[in-house]
Each structure stands twice: as C-alpha cells, then as structure tokens.
C-alpha cells in the first residue's frame, strides 16, 4: 500500500486516550493509537499530531464560581501537554522518533513551537506532536489543528472520532441518523454541523485544506484513509457532494 498523502496532521481528542474510561489515560488505548500511527509512519508519511486535553481537564466544565474562563482555558492547555508527553513516550517505546512542541515555553519538558524546526523534524522522519493549543484562551484544539496544518503545509487534516464520519445527528443516540460521505465547508457552516468549530472550518476553507472525519478505533482505518480508501469517513472540502 502506498500513501496518497505525503504530509498529514492528525487531530486526536483527549478522550481518545481515555478509551473506555471517562477520564485519565488508558494504557491499552494509548498503545493501540500508537501502533496505528506507527503503521502509517512506516509507509513514509510525514505525521504531525494535535492532541486535546478533555480527558484530564475541560475548561467548559469548570466551576465558574471558582475558575474564570481564561484560567480554565490555560488549564486545558496544560492538560494537552500531559497527553502529548504520554503519547511521545509510548511512540518512542515502539521505536518511532518523536518531538513534542508547545505553543508556550516549557523548556524542561518540550520544545517551543517553531515552524521551521517542526518542518525540519518532519523532513527527518520524526513525528511532531503539537501541544498547548494555539497558546491563547478562547481557541479550541480544532482551531490549533487547522492552524498548524496550514503552517506546515499538510495535504490533509484527519480528525479522529469515535464514529465513522459526520452524521445528521448523534448516531450513538439516534439509529436513524444519516451519514454524510462528503460535505463542503459551506454546508458545515450553514447547517451548523458540530464536527469542528467554525473558526477551524473557516481556516481550512480559506486555505483549501481538506478534512476527513473518521473512526480511529476501527483497526487500520487510519492507514486505509491515508492510502486513499474512499468509503471511509466523511470528506469535507470545497467540492460539492456527488
């Protein structure tokens, strides 16, 4: 199998690392995700990753009487650093060279985000994990993923979820939910489909960066999508649905 995408950005949620648990990091999930990533890396893809922190702290679920909006967002950014370090450790235990870059300085733990350095790591076949969101409150890790993907010249943004694409409603709650095989950026924005926030979608639209939403937990899905499988996930791009 040969990849059709040379440079990818994979957006992982913090919940993906939690697995069957509601919170924290599940070792089995971490190992499974790392192995899926290694398979794609072994094909010669240049891989970067943006990871969330919802399994440790979600700013929107804080006690507003105790923690203000800005502080809550910064706490969420710190949670992404914990997840990024965990993923790096697991990947390197299976012999995948990895670097973690943070949007804010944490010299003892990871590198600062420098675009040219990130691109150089990718050229040297190292996986780059971006943590710390955008480094600013009020922006989601989805927006960070879109921003980083554009900056490093990614061919595709892959958003990993627990379901196999974008649906008209939650398929885990509504068995009659309709799956979309393809959507345009405008359709996502106009219909207010909650797959990524509007800032992230707008960034991708302005830079013509396609998005594929897929189920990470189905074995080999990531590799199959990178190699051009058309029936997997939902493609979001500038092209109209056929």
SS3 54: coil
Does residue 171 belong to any structural domain of this protein?
A: yes
pTM: 0.93
CA 48 to chain centre: 9
- Number of domains, the chain: 1
Evaluate whether 179 touches 214 at the Cβ level (below 8 Å).
no
Query: Is the residue at 2 inside a domain?
Result: no
What pLDDT sits at residue 168?
Answer: 82
Residue 139: CATH number of its domain: 3.40.1160.10
Judge whether 1 lies within some domain: no
HEC assignment per residue over 119-167: HHHHHCCCEEEEECCCCCCCCCHHHHHHHHHHHHCCCEEEEEECCCCEE
Structural tokens at position 225: 């999508």
What is the model's pLDDT at position 240? 59
Q: In the Cβ-directed half-sphere of 212, how many Cα atoms lie within 13 Å?
A: 25
Residue 96 domain boundaries: 7-208+217-237
In a domain, 142, yes or no: yes
Domain assignment present for residue 178? The answer is yes
95 within some domain: yes
Split the chain (242 residues) into runs of 10 and give each run's mean pLDDT. 93 91 91 96 97 85 81 93 98 98 94 97 98 94 97 97 86 84 93 90 96 92 91 86 48
Q: CB neighbours (10 Å) of residue 20?
A: 7
Residue 17 lies in a domain: yes
Q: Are 23 and 34 a contacting pair, CB within 8 Å?
A: no
User: What pLDDT does 242 receive?
Assistant: 46
């Amino acid at each position: 199998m040969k990849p059709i995408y040379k440079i990818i950005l994979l957006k992982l949620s913090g919940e993906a690392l939690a697995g069957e648990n509601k919170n924290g990091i599940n070792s089995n999930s971490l190992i499974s995700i790392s192995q899926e990533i290694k398979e794609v890396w072994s094909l010669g893809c240049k891989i970067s990753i943006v990871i969330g922190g919802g399994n440790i702290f979600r700013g929107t679920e804080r006690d507003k009487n105790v923690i203000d909006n800005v502080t809550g967002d910064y706490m969420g950014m710190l949670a992404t650093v914990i997840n990024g370090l965990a993923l790096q450790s697991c990947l390197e235990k299976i012999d995948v060279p990895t670097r973690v870059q943070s949007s804010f300085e944490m010299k003892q733990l990871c590198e600062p985000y420098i675009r040219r350095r990130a691109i150089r790591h990718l050229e040297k076949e190292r996986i780059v994990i971006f943590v710390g969101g955008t480094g600013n409150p009020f922006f989601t890790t989805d927006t960070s993923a879109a921003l980083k993907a554009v900056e490093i010249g990614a061919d595709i943004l892959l958003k990993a979820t627990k379901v196999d694409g974008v649906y008209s409603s939650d398929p885990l709650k509504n068995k009659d939910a309709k799956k979309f095989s393809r959507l345009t950026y405008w359709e996502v924005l106009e219909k207010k489909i909650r797959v990524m926030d509007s800032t992230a979608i707008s960034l991708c639209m302005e830079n013509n960066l396609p998005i594929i939403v897929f189920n990470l937990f189905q074995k080999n899905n990531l590799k199959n999508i990178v190699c051009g499988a058309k029936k997997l996930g939902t493609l979001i791009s500038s092209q109209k649905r056929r």
